[in-house]
Amino acid sequence: MIPVTKTFLPPKADFDSFLDRAWQERWVTNRGQLTKELEDKLTELLGVDNVLCTTNGTLPLQLALKLIGKKGEIITTPFSYVATLSSIVWENCIPVFVDIHPEYLTIDETKIESAITPQTTCILATHVYGNPCNVEAISKLACKHNLKVIYDAAHAFGVEVDNQSIFKHGDIATCSFHATKIFHTGEGGALFANDPELVAPLFHFHNFGHNGPHNFHSVGINAKMSELQAALGLAVLPYFREIKEKRKLICQLYLIELAGSNCQFLKIRENTNWNFSYFPIIFETEEQLLKVEKSLNNQQIFPRRYFYPSLNTLSYIETKIKMPISESISKRILCLPIYHDLSHESISKISSIIKDQLIINSK
């Protein structure tokens, strides 16, 4: 069986060495030594000013929206994982969708300004499949209209734009360390606050609002990363570059094997050092996608329809507005299996099935 992804697990001895420290300290949660060490190592690796690790990748979005969304209108993308939208709704904000670029698949920055109203408080954009938004253009728009920017960078660990971490863009950036991601802590995530004034409030938010053991700075929730999660992250982190290089090779092999198939591939934005986190292909029709998916499933190969359906079509969105590009792409895009030890033989098999189906469908 070939799944869409497979969790990278380091040698168990590596994990055990960090777990032993937690056992010796008898400290398994509430910001122990391992969590702080992971934050320090991530700060150094990524070249960012601060990292606040959390227990999953959705809570950072909710904390960011709680702080700077202020229950206003949030300009966002309809093409992302549902957590992007649900966080907006959960925090009693109003999503305002802007369609996506047909090649980069990120929010179309040229359409943002027309969606701004006096009720707009924030732009929440996703670096889709780790492919960066046009961060410069969005920054200029935000400054012009005095808006805050949150980047959902769940897929973007290790991505750089102009040789700088993608996490350095926006007022707040968030990331997921879920087990399916290129770097993970089993479950987990992180907050990156680029506005120094936001660092302390976010810290208080993620720890019940505590300001010392007996004082409370503000309302808060429990979003802290446990020492067990941090131990796994510390064990995985030394393998990050190796994992990235293996995924890069897999993407290159797919491009070679699928050459001439008439599929559309993700266009990576200029000046980007990508992380090869996903390998999506876009078919000419949804009918093609469904036939290819069925043929792959029959061979115990399981790609996934990331992201389907387009978020503007979900039932709990009261005002339905058409997003023609997102709706079309979401029906035709399929993410192929990609993980660190996917074999060349498997890539060739997957590609052959896809090409055979496309040839059959064209007759």
Pairing of strands 164-165, 148-152: unpaired
Provide the pLDDT for residue 214: 73
CATH topology for 240-362 is: Aspartate Aminotransferase, domain 1 (3.90.1150)
pLDDT in tens, 137-191: 999 999 999 999 999 999 999 999 999 999 999 999 999 999 999 999 999 999 9
Start-end of CATH 3.90.1150.10 domains in the chain: 240-362
Tell the CATH topology of 12-238. Answer: Aspartate Aminotransferase; domain 2 (3.40.640)
Q: Yes or no: say if 62 and 205 are a contact pair by the CB < 8 Å rule.
A: no
CA distances from 159 to 167, 254, 257 (A): 8, 21, 25
pLDDT tens string 250-288: 999 999 999 989 899 999 999 999 999 999 999 999 999
CB-based contacts of 114, cutoff 8 Å, min separation 6? none
What pLDDT, on a 0 to 100 scale, did the predictor assign at position 249?
98
- Mean pLDDT of all residues in 195-221: 87
Tell whether the model's pLDDT for residue 363 goes beyond 60: no
E strands, 106-234, are 120-126, 148-152, 160-161, 164-165, 172-176, 189-193
Give 210's pLDDT tier (boundaries 50, 70, 90): confident
pLDDT of residue 320: 85
d(CA 62, CA 84): 9
Q: What is the pLDDT of residue 213?
A: 73
Domain with CATH 3.40.640.10 in the chain: 12-238
